[in-house]
Amino acid sequence: MSEERYIAAIEISSSKVIGVVGRAHPGGQVDIIAVEQEKSIEGVRYGIIQNLEDTSLRIARILEKMERRSSVAPRKIKSLFVGLSGRSLRSIPTTVKLNLPDETEITDDILERLRKDANAAAIDNTLEIVDVEPRRYRIGKLETFSPKGAIGNEIQADYDIVVCRPELKRNIQRVVQDKLGIDICGFVVTPLATAHLILTPEEKRLGCMMVDIGAETTTVCIFQRGALHYFATLPFGGRNITRDLTSLSMLEERAEEIKITSGNAIAPENPSSINLNGIKYADVSKLVVARSEEIVANIAEQIVYAGVKEKDLPGGIICIGGGSKLNGIGQLMTTQMGLPVKIGRLPSYVHIEDVKGPSSEIIEVASILYAGATHSDAVCLETPVQPELPKIGEAPDDEPQNTPKQRPERRINPNSLTSRIKSGLSRLFSAPEDDDDESGLL
């Protein structure tokens, strides 16, 4: 990377759609210069887009808001890196092997052949491969994580094939490419990109677990000896607690507020008799504690499924996601799992310039952005080229030169206030023969 580039990324989750624009520097630093988000309640379920129109409108508004920011204008977003997350994401371990001539040096070409063989592994035809993560390599009797340059006559590689349901990617393409006319620079597996960004090499070598508690899913990534060892997505998250609270005769918005302000994953020693506007705190506590214990119990079970023990994870648990903000959830994990828990944070080389983007809320989308910046040379923004005005006495050219490729106009909600004002102004200044329309401005 010889000069700074402008890149953009978007994360589409069950609770929100969030976009960022960043500036990537040659030294590896990324500055996040614009952040915009919108809540998404019904348009996305378990990571899969269910309502194409609703989601496209939200993304269009986010892109337009970012393009109007002084740090971005007059640049226009022409392409995006898009994160993949959701219930269907998981890993499948596989092993591939190559026989080589005697005393062959392991090169990038050989490693790429292994990766392609792993990518061609037979899997359930209802799933799509979206990434291949290496675990370890064996060259003869030598086990290594850095095989390049070693010598041998055979090499074996253990990989985790990351898969998802095809509609996860397909629906994103239908929204971003087909409806909005924005190119997709690449898909990024959000949990893995996040783990690689916020976990230190020491934590991954020691053995650790990253837990991302989202709205409707919880992702678990276990690392050992510096490499991914296990990856799974569980079909529950913080919204399950919120919906449990709605059984106390309240709307989901009110339930979410009470969960954040008064909920605690740890049962109180002395039950409270406090009444919260007609809602007993004791009832709130019982529901929050019961669901929190269920979520943590399922997280703990992943250690068993991964074939490791708590003592194999001295790096502890690094927790992120909206659900990790619940009072007492970290303490509950430590009590039930016997592992230290800390909150994950962005590294210092990801610098946030936009005050609208607090670190804890943009970790995942920042990870998508950073993965795109470091694994490609893509440029996601372009500066429109203004056509030269003709000189006095000269006829304008039939078509201006060097203008950027036009993309389809972004969709605008026809029921929005802006749309209705434009429609009214159009009628107000229409030709006389159209004056039969007696409708008002709005």
Q: Would you say residue 389 has pLDDT above 70?
A: no
> What distance in Å separates the CA atoms of residue 67 and residue 55, rounded to the nearest whole number?
18
81-85, 121-125, 153-157, 389-393: least confident range: 389-393
Tokens 């590294």 correspond to 347
Which of the four pLDDT bands, split at 50, 70 and 90, describes residue 384? confident
Q: What angle do CA 317, 305, 233 make, to 5 degrees?
A: 65
pLDDT per position as a tens digit, 51-68: 999 999 999 999 999 999
Three-state DSSP at 34 gives: strand
Residue 151 DSSP one-character state:
E
Q: Would you say residue 371 has pLDDT above 70?
A: yes
Q: Would you say residue 405 has pLDDT above 80?
A: no
Structure tokens at 260: 């954040």
Residue 336 one-letter amino acid? Q
Q: 3-state secondary structure string, 175-235? A: HHHHHCCCEEEEEEEHHHHHHHHHCCHHHHHHCEEEEEECCCCEEEEEEECCEEEEEEEEC
Look at the domain 201-343 and name its fold: Nucleotidyltransferase; domain 5 (3.30.420)
Which of the four pLDDT bands, split at 50, 70 and 90, describes residue 145? confident
Instruction: Answer left, alpha or beta for residue 28, where phi above 0 means left and psi between -120 and 50 means alpha.
Output: left
pLDDT at 14: 87
Structure tokens at 145: 């994580």
Query: Rounded mean pLDDT of 337-359?
Result: 91
* Length reported for the chain: 442
Instruction: Compute and round to an integer the Cα radius of gyration of the chain.
Output: 26
Which of the four pLDDT bands, split at 50, 70 and 90, describes residue 421? very low
pLDDT at 442: 31
pLDDT at 394: 61
User: What pTM did the predictor assign?
Assistant: 0.83
pLDDT at 343: 95
Please answer whether residues 154 and 99 qualify as being in contact, where contact means their C-beta atoms are separated by less than 8 angstroms.
Answer: yes
> What distance in Å separates the CA atoms of residue 329 and residue 241, rounded to the nearest whole number?
12
CA 171 from chain center: how many Å?
A: 15
Contacting residues for 281 by C-beta, under 8 A, at least 6 apart: 262, 272, 273, 274, 275
Which is nearest to 411 in space by CA: 81, 66, 181, 168? 181
pLDDT per position as a tens digit, 116-133: 999 888 788 889 999 999
pLDDT at 2: 54
pLDDT at 271: 77
Q: Cα(first)–Cα(last) distance of the chain, in Å?
A: 51
**CATH code of the domain occupying 5-87+168-193+348-382:** 3.30.420.40
Instruction: Answer left, alpha or beta for residue 317, where phi above 0 means left and psi between -120 and 50 means alpha.
Output: beta
CA 178 from chain center: how many Å?
A: 21
pLDDT at 397: 58
Residue 276 DSSP one-character state:
E
- The structural domains of the chain, with segments of one domain joined by +, span 5-87+168-193+348-382, 90-164, 201-343
pLDDT at 427: 47
pLDDT per position as a tens digit, 108-118: 999 999 999 99
Three-state DSSP at 80 gives: strand
CATH fold match for the domains 5-87+168-193+348-382 and 201-343: yes
Backbone angles phi, psi at 366, to 5 degrees: -65, -35
Which of the four pLDDT bands, split at 50, 70 and 90, describes residue 361? confident
Which of the four pLDDT bands, split at 50, 70 and 90, describes residue 410? low
Other Cβ atoms closer than 10 A to 329: 25
Q: Would you say residue 367 has pLDDT above 90?
A: yes
> What distance in Å separates the CA atoms of residue 104 and residue 147, rounded to the nearest whole number?
12
Average per-residue pLDDT in the chain?
87
> What distance in Å separates the CA atoms of residue 425 and residue 438, rounded to the nearest whole number?
13
* 247-256 exposure pattern, b = at least 16 Cβ within 10 A, e = fewer: ebebeeebbb
Backbone angles phi, psi at 45, to 5 degrees: -130, 125
Backbone angles phi, psi at 42, to 5 degrees: -110, -15
Domain 90-164 has CATH 3.30.1490.110: yes
Which is nearest to 373 in space by CA: 128, 25, 95? 25
Which of the four pLDDT bands, split at 50, 70 and 90, describes residue 420? very low
pLDDT per position as a tens digit, 10-45: 999 988 999 999 999 988 899 999 999 998 767 888
Structure tokens at 58: 């939200």
